[in-house]
């Protein structure tokens, strides 16, 4: 079928030619990439930690039951007691030169190195943010839009998905969009727990670290951040993805489940969390006669309080107090060359169609 063509507005053949000058070209739109990690206090004192903990523990994704009892516990007990202790922990790892936590220092470096690695895509702008604390996701989105980005790729820096980490990044990113009349188009990178570049980077980081040690570990503990067992029972895929990462890492390193153990750290409160617990496992290993171990934290994209203080500090002390002799924590991928290749490949893959 041929469409009808209206000749009502057709130009006569002897009409003057149209102006041949080209129309002005609008500025080419840019694409933003926003790396997002968990968060950190702005200051390493009780006041700074209190502000951070209040925001973190008031998130329904983190503590699902935000009822009256929890609010009484949070505001009446936790925020009056825990900040002082946690402030001392932060002070023990604080980057005093920059007056910030290592998590901020490393995430900024990851952003800068990622930008440099894709600098040939001149219309791509890379920035970073924290889910809790500063710089906020709102500041990140606003900043990218101010630089002309009408499309933004949000990159939650969590290899394994959980509602308490990846999902809450999405919640906040889309909440920020609800405040905007002219919204950018948003994409979110998927979890990369089984990505080949990620597994290879983990394996290389472990192998390189072990070469620096004056001893050979009898086994390696892979410690992931824990979560209440109830959350997994409700359908959170986090544990399943931690298991998959560990199994792939075992295969790559040529180890079995007696040489590369899977554990979960950082439990909080009185409910049952994912097991086996890292601290209890390390205590038992020492009591059973294991003298030399190394610990790797595959679920953390950057070193932070949970890796630098909880593992390298507290768990090292637990191991040695119970008869262990040699303990070493493998640094997270951070802004190392293998770690940056993971992020580069992830971002380039998810930007397809926008580049």
pLDDT at 291 over 50: yes
225 known member of a binding site: yes
3-state secondary structure 118-164: CCCCCCEEEEEEEEEECCEHHHHHHHHHHCCEEEEEEEECCCCCCHH
Note the residue count of the chain. 355
**Helices (DSSP H) in the chain: which residue ranges?**
46-57, 68-73, 79-93, 102-117, 137-146, 168-178, 196-212, 229-233, 238-253, 278-287, 305, 316-321, 337-350
d(CA 146, CA 32): 11
Handedness of CA 160, 102, 39, 115 (dihedral sign): negative
Question: What's the whole-model pTM score?
Answer: 0.90
pLDDT digits (tens, 9 = 90+) for 269-285: 889 999 999 999 999 99
pLDDT value at position 29?
85
pLDDT value at position 122?
87
CATH 3.40.50.1400 correct for 196-329 = yes
pLDDT digits (tens, 9 = 90+) for 91-150: 999 999 999 999 999 999 999 999 999 999 989 999 999 999 999 999 999 999 999 999
Q: Which numeric CATH code is attached to 30-192+337-351?
A: 3.40.50.1400
pLDDT value at position 320?
98
Read off the pLDDT of each residue in 151-155 and give the average, rounded to a whole number: 98
Read off the pLDDT of each residue in 59-84 and give the average, rounded to a whole number: 96
Where do you find CATH 3.40.50.1400 in the chain?
Answer: 30-192+337-351, 196-329
C-alpha neighbours within 13 Å on the C-beta side of residue 329: 24
Residue 28: band (very low, low, confident or very high) from pLDDT cuts 50, 70, 90: low
- Are 347 and 114 in contact by the 8 Å Cβ rule? The answer is yes
Name the residue with tokens 């209206």. Answer: 6
pLDDT value at position 6?
40
Read off the pLDDT of each residue in 239-261 and give the average, rounded to a whole number: 98
């Amino acid at each position: 079928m041929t469409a009808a063509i209206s000749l009502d507005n057709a130009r006569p053949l002897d009409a003057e030619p149209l102006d041949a000058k080209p129309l002005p070209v609008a500025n080419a739109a840019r694409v933003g990439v926003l790396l997002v990690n968990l968060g950190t206090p702005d200051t390493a004192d009780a006041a700074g930690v209190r502000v951070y903990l209040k925001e973190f523990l008031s998130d329904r994704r983190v503590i699902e039951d935000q009822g009256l009892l929890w609010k009484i516990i949070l505001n009446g007990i936790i925020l009056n007691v825990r900040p002082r202790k946690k402030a001392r922990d932060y002070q023990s790892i604080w980057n005093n030169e920059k007056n910030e936590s290592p998590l901020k220092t490393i995430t900024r470096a990851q952003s800068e190195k990622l930008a440099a690695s894709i600098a040939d895509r001149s219309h791509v702008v890379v920035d970073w943010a924290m889910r809790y604390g500063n710089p906020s996701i709102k500041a990140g989105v606003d900043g990218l839009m101010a630089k002309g980005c009408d499309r933004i790729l949000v990159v939650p820096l969590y290899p394994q998905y959980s509602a308490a980490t990846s999902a809450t990044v999405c919640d906040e990113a889309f909440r920020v969009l609800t405040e905007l009349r002219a919204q950018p188009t948003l994409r979110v990178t998927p979890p990369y727990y089984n990505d080949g570049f990620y597994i290879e980077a983990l394996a290389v980081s472990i192998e390189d670290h072990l070469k620096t040690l004056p001893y050979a570990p009898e086994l390696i503990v892979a410690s992931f951040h824990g979560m209440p067992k109830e959350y997994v029972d409700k359908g959170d895929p986090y544990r399943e993805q931690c298991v998959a990462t560990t199994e792939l890492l075992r295969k790559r390193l040529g180890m079995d489940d007696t040489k590369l153990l899977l554990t979960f750290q950082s439990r909080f409160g009185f409910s049952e969390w994912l097991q086996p617990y890292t601290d209890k496992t390390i205590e038992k290993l020492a009591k059973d006669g294991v003298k030399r171990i190394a610990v790797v934290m595959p679920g953390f994209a950057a070193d932070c309080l949970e890796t630098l203080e909880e593992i390298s500090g507290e768990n090292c002390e637990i191991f040695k107090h119970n008869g262990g002799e040699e303990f070493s924590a493998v640094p997270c991928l951070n802004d190392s060359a293998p770690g940056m290749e993971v992020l580069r490949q992830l971002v380039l893959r998810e930007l397809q169609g926008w580049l």
